[in-house]
Amino acid sequence: MAAPLLANLSESLGSPEPAVRLMLSILIGYPCALVYRKYLFYQTATVINLFHAISGLALAAFNFGPQIYHSAVCVLVQFLMMRLMGRTITTVLSSFTFQMVYLLAGYYYTATEEYDIKWTMPHCVLTLKLVGLSFDYYDGGKEPSQLSAEQKTAALPSVPSLLEVCGFSYFYGGFLVGPQFTLRSYQKLVAGELTDSPGKPPNSVTPAMKRFALGFVCLAVYTIFSPYYPDSYFLTDEYEAQPFWYRCVFVLIWAKVILYKYVSCWVIAEGVCILSGLGYNGVVDGEHRWDACANMKVWVFETAPLFGGTISSFNINTNAWVAR
């Protein structure tokens, strides 16, 4: 029943069916976050982790079918490494090697001449999460004086349970396209600590809807202009015959339009994280901040006069993960 509907929807939108599935899955994160806020906020950690794990697995199955076993294998192996190998540098090295080799092998065996949405796309996000998890677990065994301020906030005092790792890995707000966040942040979410109203769900509907609206605008820009700037045009005789200045301008506009395809996904997914509370970033200058999961500062990116500003406003959480 769902397959014909999705096929008709993708045909009417002029988009590949995998892309439609992906966008629908990101949008489904909003009702999932509302369910968590209304019915699960006061529940036990076990119930909340189950909800996050099951909902994320359902979205993964909706997009990639039986290929979800790839992520399940990597999550299980990561948990067993921490449980059996302990807080050792061997655990960190083994985690990094296994997760990266698995991802690279996936890229190699699924590569085509086109850009395809397949299981390797969210697995890239998952790989960074699981490698970061091993670092945070290792840091939890060090003396506080040996850790930086950021490491102290992310360090894990004990090995997490398998259910907790699954909830963290498959959380509907970050499994498909990011953003990156630590297990400690996720644990605070489950404990109900990421809120501007202690003991109550966060007042994050308005900031979440602002990010959703911005993401929708970015998606509209891509949808409207992408037919006028197709990738295939670069290989035509018509493009080759154009003046050099025209080809340069075309490349610039094409790159901007294509970029908004990714920006829209990031910003809409950020709204899901804000709605759930994961985006809460404390109080700065008397105002509650909701940018803990911001992966893109669109206005700064578009108006930054220096290249450094462009870097600092793009792929923010991934860059911060690497720096940490």
Q: What is the pTM of this model?
A: 0.94
Structural domain ending residue among the three candidates 190, 218, 252: 190
Residue 181 shares a structural domain with residue 211:
no
Number of domains in the chain: 2
The answer to whether residues 33 and 105 belong to one domain is yes
Q: What is the pLDDT, as a whole number, of residue 1? A: 52
Q: Is 117 a domain residue?
A: yes
Q: What confidence score (pLDDT) does residue 305 get?
A: 83
Q: Which pLDDT score is estimated for 2?
A: 64
Point out which residues pair with 314 in neighbouring strands: 296
What is the distance between the terminal CA atoms of the chain, rounded to a whole angstrom? 46
Residue 307's pLDDT is what?
A: 81
Q: Are residues 253 and 184 in the same domain?
A: no
Positions of the chain with pLDDT lower than 50, given as ranges: none
Do residues 38 and 165 both lie within one domain? yes
Q: How far is CA 180 from the centre of its chain?
A: 6
Indicate whether 173 belongs to any domain: yes
Same domain, yes or no, for 183 and 53? yes
- Model pLDDT for residues 159-188, shown as the tens digit of each residue: 999 999 999 999 999 999 989 999 999 999
Q: Which domain holds residue 56?
A: 2-190
pLDDT of residue 84: 96
Give the pLDDT score at 324: 63
In the prediction, which pLDDT does 323 show? 65
- Asked if residue 261 and residue 136 are part of one domain, the reply reads no
262 and 176 in a single domain? The answer is: no
The reply to whether 198 falls in a domain is no
Output the pLDDT for position 4. 75
Residues 73 and 160 in one domain: yes
Q: How many residues does the chain have?
A: 324
135 located within any domain: yes
SS3 assignment for 220-265: HHHHHHHHHCCHHHHHCHHHHHCCHHHHHHHHHHHHHHHHHHHHHH
Last residue of a domain, one of 190, 225, 245: 190
